[in-house]
């Protein structure tokens, strides 16, 4: 066990955990965040996605000690229910969920791509989402929401 300092969604935390602990477990169990979720624990589905340095990162396979001083942003750090981020707003407007368990992977992966490349082509968006799963298959609405967000920033 070791004391590890983390900055998550603008707040500083210190947790006492095994440095090898996946970041996801610290976010969920120690910081009680609900955005990132355990989907597969294998970096194959995206449900645990967070944003670190502008990149979508799978927190289920990243040891917490590897985060170091980099700020972590989770789905709930993006906006609030009262004031959602524009991409969350787009997903709300399109009703782009069923069970909603996959949303960290979908929303944060799309956001990371469009922040880096606001004019990403449909092909590039599909490529970015080629390892993100939604098993309710809400694909139609999710793609519509992503395009809506992209248009809102143009």
Partner 1 sequence: MKKEISRRDFVKASGALIVCFSTASLVEPLAMAQGPFDTHPSHVDPEKLDSWLAVASDGTVTAYTGKCDFGQGIYTVQTQLVAEELCVSISKVKLIQCDTSVTPDQGTTSGSQSTPTNFNTRNLAQAAATAREALVGMAAQRLGVSADQLTIENGVVSAKDGRHVSYGGLIGGKHFDIAVSSTAKRRSTSEWKVLGKPVPSLDRVALMSGTFEFVHNVQVLGMVHGRVVRPPEIGATVGNVDEKSVQHVPGLIKVVVRNNFIGVVAEKQWQAAQAAKDLKVTWQPRLGLPAQKDFYDYLRKQPSRDLMLVNSKDVDNKLKSASRVLKATYLHPYQAHGSIGSSCAVADVQADHATVWSATQSVYPTQHGVSALTALPLDSVRVIFVRGAGCYGLNAADTVSYDAALLSQAVRRPVRVQLTRQDEFLSENYGSACVVEQQAALDASGTIDAWDCETWTASFGGRPGYDQPGNVITGMLAGFDPETINPRTAVEPTGELRNGNNAVPSYVVGCVNGKCGGAGSIRSERVLTHAVKSPFFTGPLRSPLRLQNTFAHECFMDEISAYARADPVAYRLQHLRETRIIDVVKAAAKTANWDARPSPKPGTARTGTVTGRGIACVAYEGDNGYAALVAEVEVGQASGRVQASRFVVAHDCGPISNPEGLRNQIEGGVLQGMSRALGEEITWDDRKVTSIDWQSYNTLPLGIQVPIIESVLIDRPEAKATGAGETAITLVAAAIGNAIFDATGARLREVPFTPDRVKATLSSRG
Nearer to partner 1, 47 or 57 (CB): 47
The yes or no reply on residue 41 touching partner 1 (CB under 8 A) is yes
Determine, following the binding rule CB under 8 A, whether residue 84 of this chain makes contact with partner 1. Answer: yes
Residue 83 burial (CB count, 10 A): 8
17 binds partner 1 (CB under 8 A): yes
Q: Does 132 bind partner 1 (CB under 8 A)?
A: yes
Contact between 112 and partner 1 per CB under 8 A = no
**Out of 81, 121, 151, 154, which residue is the one contacting partner 1 (CB under 8 A)?**
81
**Tokens 């355990």, residue?**
38
- Site residues (vs partner 1, CB under 8 A): 1, 17-18, 20-22, 25, 28-29, 32-35, 37-42, 44-45, 47, 74-81, 84, 88, 91-92, 95, 97-104, 106-107, 125-143
């Amino acid at each position: 066990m070791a004391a590890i300092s983390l900055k998550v969604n603008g707040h500083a935390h210190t947790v006492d955990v095994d440095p090898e602990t996946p970041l996801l477990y610290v976010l969920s169990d120690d910081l009680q965040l609900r955005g990132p979720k355990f989907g597969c624990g294998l970096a194959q589905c995206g449900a645990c996605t967070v944003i670190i340095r502008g990149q979508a990162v799978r927190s289920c396979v990243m040891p917490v000690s590897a985060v170091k001083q980099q700020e972590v942003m989770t789905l709930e750090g993006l906006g609030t229910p009262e004031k959602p981020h524009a991409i969350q707003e787009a997903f709300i407007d399109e009703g782009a969920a069923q069970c909603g368990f996959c949303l960290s992977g979908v929303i944060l992966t799309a956001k990371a791509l469009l922040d880096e490349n606001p004019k990403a082509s449909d092909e590039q968006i599909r490529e970015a989402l080629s390892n993100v799963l939604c098993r309710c298959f809400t694909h139609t609405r999710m793609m519509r929401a992503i395009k809506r967000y992209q248009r809102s920033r143009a």
